[in-house]
Every structure is written in C-alpha cells, then in structure tokens.
Copies of this chain bind each other. A is one copy, B any other.
Amino acid sequence: MILDRCDIPIVGAPLAGGPSTPELAAAVCDAGGLGFLAAGYLSAPELERRRRRTEQITSRPFGVNLFCPGPAGDASRVREYAAVIEKDAHAAGAALGAPRHDDDDWDAKVEYLLAHPVPVVSFTFGIPGPEVIGDLRAAGCETWVTVTTLAEARRAAEAGADLLVAQGYEAGGHRGGVSDSAHDAVGLIALLQLITARLPTPVAACGGIATGAAIAAVLCLGARAAALGTAFLDCPEAGTAAVHRARLHAAPPEEAPPTRLTRAFSGRTARGIENGFLLAHSAGAPAAYPEVHHLTTPMRKAAREAGLADYVNLWAGQAYPLTGARPAGDVVRELWAQARAVLGQSSARHA
C-alpha cells in the first residue's frame, strides 16, 4: 500500500474549492505524509495542469480525489430556494448563478487518470462501480473510498476499494459518503470501531483531528493513517481565502463560533463555521447538489473578495479552534512527534 511508502501516517485530505494546491500536497508529501490534490470542481485539463505542477515540485507519491456524480435535485425546490436567497447574493454584490446539474467532468477525469495514473485515486460523494475501481487498479492506481457509515463501508469494500476513508461527524467540509443525511453522521470513534470490527479493509480516519493526541487515538482505533483537512487550511501553501483564514482564529477557542452541518451553500450537507447565511438558510435549503453550489458560486466569490464572512462557506471541522498558521511540513512533523510521544506515555502508564 502507498501508506507503507510514507514515513508518517498523516494524510493531507483533499480540500476542493480553493484550499487544495499543488504546493500544499507537495509540502505534506515532502514532510513524509501523503498529500492529495482535490480534483472536485476542476475540469480534466485543469486536473492535468495541477498534477503536472505537483510532479514538478515533489518526487514523492501523492493522490488525486474525485467527486462521484449523483442524482439531480428537485428543480422546483431549487427555484423556491433561489427566490429565498436572491437577496443574499445581492447583499454580497453578486447575482445568483444558474442552478444546473452536472457530473463534475467525471468521465473525462477518470479517462485521464486511466491514461495517466497516479499512485492513489480517492472518491467522495459515492462509491464507484467495481469496473471503475478495477480499471484504475489495473492502470496502477490504489483506490480509496470515503465512507460515513458501516453500511457504506461494506459496500465500498465489496466494490473493491483498497482503503476506506472513514469520515466522522466532526469533519469539516462536505460529508463525503453516499448518505447526505446529517442524521446518519457517526462520530469518528464509533465509526472506526464499527468498521474495523466488521471489515478487514484498511482504514484511514478523518474528522476533527487537530492534535498529535488525536492522531495517536485513531491509530489505537485501528486506522492506518490520520487524514487531516482543517489542520492545513491556514498553511501558507494552501489557497484558502483570507476571509476564511481570518475566521478560523477570530476568537479564543471557548468563544469561537461553533460549526454546523448545512446544505445552505451547496445543496449537499457540509460542516462550516456558523455565519449569517448558514444560520438563515440551513433549515430551508434543499438536497440538490451541485445545483445549489452553482446557484451560490457568484455570491461566495464576491463575498470572499469583499471580505464578507457572512456569505462565505467557512468549511471547518469541529476542532478548528486548535489549528494554526504554520507551513504544512511543520504541521506534519510536529503533530507526528506529538502523536509518538502520546503513544509512548500512554503505553508506559497503562500497558
């Protein structure tokens, strides 16, 4: 497995929509972890460009993450939601986008990766069919599938996944499994116990991991690696918007606004820091991805540029107040040193 070729069992989770960059992936890899390029929202040519750039700046293996296409949402509910949020788009200095359904250039990106394989391809928002997984493996790609429940984990294992990325309730950004129901979210500790008790497939753990102690914890729970996303959001190598970075550290942890699961920004459930748009529209937002994503794209872009935090999707996991603004390589090395120290101390005390 690719993780056997990494010195440090820390994965830089893909952060689609801006934060993920070739520089961030390369920095995680060069420190001994496994970096990912997020190909969600990218065309196949843009994926190729970023992949080439990453290969120019690191000689280490890295992964590429794809969004699996899903069903269209209810068009009438999308129209109703558009009417509700139009004033918000205007307040941010933008119009609404066209709420189209699309497959995120899925076929072209899969074709590209089959022709030009990378060491790992991971999947979000669904479980690819056994033929896609089989073709990618035959081309030389290890396949990882994001799962949020034990039932999803079993389906992914049966489809041939080489590794399951177990995403806990705590995780920032989109829920990455098949289920889009917030009710189905399982806390990471419970999810890891359930999966490892029932399936032999290797697992990586993500969701709310911000410290070496949490890395030690998921290794104890049987994970082969800890996947961190929010912990890298404010790294200088990330492409995170300034207004997003500022909100990560706007208050001491006790007073930091909580995060919440919401469909308000994209039509698919994701965790972000509570702000005006999220609180106003979470209750009414339909399950319609990527229609709602496209609807709010101009609003979010304008708000990012204008520094209007209330209209930006401030994706973050529940441990976000503990993250900092350090180079990604330092994050990898320091957290791993902490994790090893915690394991040694806990073992010495109890085992």
Q: Which residues of A contact B (CB under 8 A)?
A: 9, 149-151, 154, 168-170, 183-184, 186-194, 196-198, 207-211, 213-214, 216-222, 253-255, 258, 260-261, 317-319, 321-322, 339-344, 346-351
Closest to A196 in B: B213
Nearest CB in chain B: distance from A252 CB, A: 8
Contact among B9, B222, B318, B348 for A186, CB-based, below 8 A: B318
- A150 x B342 contact (CB < 8 A): no
In the bound complex, how far is the Cα of B221 from the Cα of A188, in angstroms?
A: 13
Contacts of A190 on B, CB cut-off 8 Å?
170, 207-208, 210, 317-319
With known contacts A193-B319, A219-B346, A341-B351, A187–B207 Cβ distance under 8 A: yes
> Which residues does chain B contribute within 8 Å of A218, judged by CB atoms?
189, 217
A186 and B213 form a contact (CB under 8 A): no
Which residues of the other chain, B, contact A194 by a CB distance below 8 angstroms? 253, 318-319, 321-322
Provided the pairs A149-B258, A154-B254, A318-B187 are in contact, do residues A193 and B210 lie with their beta carbons within 8 angstroms? yes
Shortest C-beta distance, A318 to chain B (Å), equals 4
Within the oligomer, what is the number of copies of this chain? 2
The distance in angstroms between the C-alpha atoms of A219 and B350, with both chains bound, is: 9
Given A168-B189, A190-B317, A194-B322: A346 and B220 interface contact (C-beta under 8 Å):
yes
Q: Which residues of B contact A260 (CB under 8 A)?
A: 183
Is there contact, CB below 8 Å, between B322 and A197? yes
Rounded to whole angstroms, the CA-CA distance of A236 and B308 in the bound complex is: 58
Q: How far is the CA of A192 from the CA of B211 in the complex (A)?
A: 11
Contact A253–B150 (Cβ < 8 Å): yes
Return 13 A-B CB contacts under 8 Å, by A number. A168-B189, A169-B169, A169-B187, A183-B261, A187-B187, A187-B189, A187-B208, A193-B214, A194-B253, A194-B322, A197-B211, A213-B222, A216-B221
Provide the residues of chain B in CB contact with A216, threshold 8 Å: 217, 220-221, 346, 350
Q: How far is the CA of A1 from the CA of B158 in the complex (A)?
A: 49
Are B197 and A217 in contact, with the CB atoms below 8 A? no
Bound form: Cα–Cα A213–B198 in Å: 14
